[in-house]
Amino acid sequence: MTEEQFMRAAIREAEKARAIGEVPIGCVIERDGKIVARGYNRRMTDHCALAHAELSAIRKACRKAGDWRLEDCTLYVTLEPCPMCAGAIVQARIPKVVFGCRNPKAGSAGSVLDLLHVEGLNHQVSVEEGILGEECAEMMRVFFRELRKRKREAQD
């Protein structure tokens, strides 16, 4: 599978979030060329600020591996990780993250913070961005445009 195909799989996860009214963010974790875990944003559904796509996928990948370390995995996510998820990526020793589009409000892989390259920490993460980036960005734009429209209609 190519990087684009893995990101395509992450987009499919994001679509699951959108289908239940959640902000469309999806994630897959790859090991040895195969997807070993998937996750999507369920923050509202689960009533939990921790229910991010990446944390869900990391939890599943760890369970499957029987190890807290995911040293031979790559994490693909449609949106640049937030501080919490970037922290979890470092904690899980994931060596590489590929994200679709930037998150100017909370992105912690270079936009607001760069938690994946903190010299003082004992783990650095290589980062690649922009794989299907325009598609990931458009998915977010459409979601928020529709959300604003629904809010306006509710006020009328």
Q: Which residue is nearest to Zn ion (CB)?
A: 85
Report the alpha-carbon distance of residue 128 to residue 39 in Å, rounded: 19
52 counts as binding Zn ion under rule CB under 5 A: yes
Instruction: Enumerate the active-site residues.
Output: 54
Region binding Zn ion by CB under 5 A among candidate stretches 13-21, 62-70, 84-92, 122-130: 84-92
Three-state DSSP string of 29-49 = EEECCEEEEEEECCCCCCCCC
Contact flag: residue 140 with Zn ion (CB under 5 A)? no
Give the Cα separation of 91 and 34 in Å (integer).
22
Nearer to Zn ion among residue 62 and residue 84 (C-beta): 84
When asked if residue 82 is in the footprint of Zn ion (CB under 5 A), the reply is: yes
Cβ contact 72:59 at 8 Å: no
Interacting residue with Zn ion among 11, 23, 58, 85 (CB under 5 A): 85
Binding segment for Zn ion among 63-71, 83-91, 95-103, 107-115 (CB under 5 A)? 83-91
Q: What is the number of helices (H) and of strands (E) in the chain?
A: 4, 5
Interface ranges with Zn ion (CB under 5 A): 52, 82, 84-85
